[in-house]
Amino acid sequence: MKITFLGTGTSTGIPLIGSNHPVCLSQNTKDKRLRSSIKIDFDNYTYVIDCGPDFRQQMINSNCKKIDGILFTHEHADHTAGLDDIRPFCFRNGALPIYGHKRVLENLSIRFNYIFKKDNKYPGAPSVIPNHIDSNSPINLNKSKVIPISYLHADLQVYGYRFNDFAYITDLKTIEDNEIEKLKNLDVLVLNAIRIEPHFSHLNLTEALDLIKIINPKKTFLTHISHMLGFHDDVEKGLPENVHLSYDGLVIEVN
């Protein structure tokens, strides 16, 4: 299984528009972050988790020729606003399966009503096949079982996903013990860590490291990073040996 980090930034991306913060002015490519998303390739299938406002550029950057579906974590714009840009995939392969909480898919059907329309559809509009997720049931993706992980982003329910011994968790603030149990015995965990200072709806770095100790994966990559976390290279030097900052374009292999 190949994981491509399409974007590793928080909702504003880095650089933040109009900012003179030193991280925003950095020339290090690892300090330039599109909105968070990953691409997962396995068994000749390709899935994307979230399609934010940078989706088109991410598909070009990763030279992605096809996707077999999109799994949504939640409805916030930095995770969903690129939905219209699935059009080229639909032109070639027809309606695209999408997966998410019923609430999320209902939200998208209002914001992108022309995509979800059944009758008198605008020619050229993309089409989707909505699939509701139940946190108590695995998702069957081409004979592979994907386990939804439910947690809270402030007061908003969000889904992360476990593929075999890999899990992707973003926009987490609090999680119940029974959901943590679903994350045990991981080879690789991807987890959000927005900044050094506490945040009302995201883990900060200390909270992320504390949760990593509880989950105890073999290796962790931090994502959904803001400029306030600091320079990539400086933060990386201070992390535990088995914890790393992700960056846009990073590719890892997971068995």
Q: What is the pTM of this model?
A: 0.97
Q: Judge whether residue 132 has pLDDT over 90.
A: yes
**Region 106-122 average pLDDT:** 94
Give the start-end residues of each E strand in 10-143. 37-42, 45-49, 69-71, 96-100, 128-132, 139-141
In 3-state terms, what secondary structure has residue 4?
A: strand
Q: What is the per-residue pLDDT across 190-232, written as a single tens digit (0 to 9) for each?
A: 999 999 999 999 999 999 999 999 999 999 999 999 999 999 9
pLDDT band per the 50, 70, 90 thresholds, residue 238: very high
- Fold of the domain built from segment(s) 2-253: Metallo-beta-lactamase; Chain A (3.60.15)
Tell me the pairing of strands 156-163 and 243-245. Answer: unpaired
Q: In what side-by-side order are the strands of the sheet with 188-192? A: 139-141, 144-153, 156-163, 166-169, 188-192, 219-223, 243-245
Q: What is the per-residue pLDDT across 20-51, written as a single tens digit (0 to 9) for each?
A: 999 999 999 999 999 999 999 999 999 999 99
Per-residue b/e over 203-228, b at no fewer than 16 CB within 10 Å?
Answer: bbbebbbebbeebebebbbbbbbbbb
Domain ranges of the chain: 2-253
**Region 220-247 average pLDDT:** 98
Tell me the pairing of strands 251-253 and 2-7. Answer: antiparallel
Q: What CA–CA distance (Å, rounded) separates 231 from 118?
A: 48
Q: What CA–CA distance (Å, rounded) separates 251 from 203?
A: 24
